[in-house]
Copies of this chain bind each other. A is one copy, B any other.
């Protein structure tokens, strides 16, 4: 008569403890047990019964099946989160923010690594919806995004984070990319630079577009040539290195404002490939202040955004939406967060006098 497991049912064949089992143990009906175990309906059952039921649940090791509950209630308490590339360090803090904000309200994140291809993104989104997520957070959206179109068409609550969308069909939380680039340009100009190039991000993404626009506007406002722009094909180091090499090859600049830290790091590589040094020969400003860029050589001057907070806000926005009565949805809240400049070692006053360098053309 060794009691093999504390709290286990008598019979050897261990069976699932469902609500029925708890109800039986407490001699009440399933429905009563359900109400007793749910804080929101607990007041409907006698205090004495609640105690008995809770005790039984504890003793049996009952754990409610959220799946079944979701089916009945129509809410899964799951939020689908789509990122284009989970390895890109910029997304980790966003995910963290989203996660903590969701967890606080009992939601979980279903993270999907959707890649950059629109078709795949669409199918990933369909998968998520098939899993009955209550809503979507998209860090993937392009300027004219099919996934957004689908969400709108099918009434799937969704918010955009980090990247927004031309038509603003959904709420979004983004950094003020225009302003951020202005900070970068003004910083460089204040150091004495006048010939500044822009390493632009992909033009189908709002960040690429807005930052480029910010660059052009800031340069023009200061009476400088805003024409030195090369666009990288993707937000990746390799693409940044190629674009930077092209830019340096064709234009005599003393500084580069990059659309993104990864592009800036790519520019580092291009520089060293050409035997140039940063910031002696060329100053570089990045964008995002992603983890570890303070440790690279030279430490990267960049525009700081607060991705964790961005993620939190996006999640909060979505939860608001889910909590608001039909018809009252916050369709088009566009939250724009203020970026800031963080000066490190990759920028300095131009070293060589503008006319002293030699270049073709």
Interface residues of A (CB under 8 A from B): 63-68, 70-71, 76, 78, 86-87, 89, 92-93, 95-96, 99-100, 108-113, 126-127, 129-132, 265, 268, 291-293, 295-298
Contact = CB atoms under 8 A, between A and B. Distances in A.
Nearest to A124: B103
Given A67-B71, A132-B67, A297-B298, A111 B113 contact: no
Given A89-B292, A295-B268, A297-B296, A68 B66 contact: no
Contacts of A291: 87, 89, 292
A130 B65 contact: yes
A6 to B, nearest CB: 11
B89 A108 contact: no
Contacts of A95: 86, 111, 113
A113 B96 contact: yes
12 contacts: A65-B132, A67-B67, A67-B131, A67-B132, A86-B95, A87-B291, A89-B291, A89-B292, A92-B92, A95-B113, A99-B111, A265-B295
A110 B131 CA distance: 12
Contact of A126 (B63, B68, B127): B63
B86 A130 contact: no
The secondary-structure label for the interface of chain A is mixed
Nearest to A292: B292
Nearest to A308: B87
Nearest to A307: B87
A66 B112 contact: no
B86 A92 contact: yes
Number of copies of chain A assembled together: 2
Nearest to A155: B14
Contacts of A127: 108
A131 B108 contact: yes
Given A295-B296, A296-B297, A298-B297, A92 B100 contact: no
Contacts of A111: 95, 99, 109, 111
Given A86-B92, A296-B295, A64 B100 contact: no
A350 B78 CA distance: 55
Contacts of A89: 89, 92, 291-292
A113 B87 contact: no
Nearest to A237: B295
Given A67-B70, A95-B111, A108-B131, 4 more contacts: A78-B110, A87-B291, A89-B292, A110-B110
A250 to B, nearest CB: 25
Nearest to A290: B292
B93 A87 contact: yes
Contacts of A100: 113
Contacts of A268: 295
B87 A132 contact: no
Nearest to A81: B111
5 closest A-B pairs (Cβ-Cβ)? A297-B297, A295-B296, A67-B132, A292-B292, A111-B111
Nearest to A154: B61
Nearest to A132: B67
A90 to B, nearest CB: 11
A78 B132 CA distance: 13
Nearest to A111: B111
Contacts of A92: 86-87, 89, 92
